[in-house]
Amino acid sequence: MSECALRENVDLNLEEVSRIALALKSLAAYSMAYEDENPAELQAVVDEGLEAVHHLFDC
């Protein structure tokens, strides 16, 4: 597993950390219970979380 580091001159902020947490929570819930429901909606949430990860971290 590769490590991620906080990008230089970037501060963690609650909004982006919340987006990451929501994406992870949504992905976990989907994988456990909702395999065939609203995959496009889930994808949008996960994409927002990934965008926040890429904005904050070098991975």
54 has a pLDDT exceeding 80: yes
More confident residue, 35 or 9: 9
pLDDT score of 2: 66
DSSP secondary structure string for all residues of 1-59: ----EEPTT----HHHHHHHHHHHHHHHHHHHH-TTS-HHHHHHHHHHHHHHHHHHEE-
pLDDT score of 36: 61
Q: Rounded to an integer, what distance in angstroms lies between the CA atom of residue 42 and that of residue 24?
A: 10
pLDDT score of 25: 83
0.85 exceeded by pTM: no
- Indicate the domain borders of the chain: 5-58
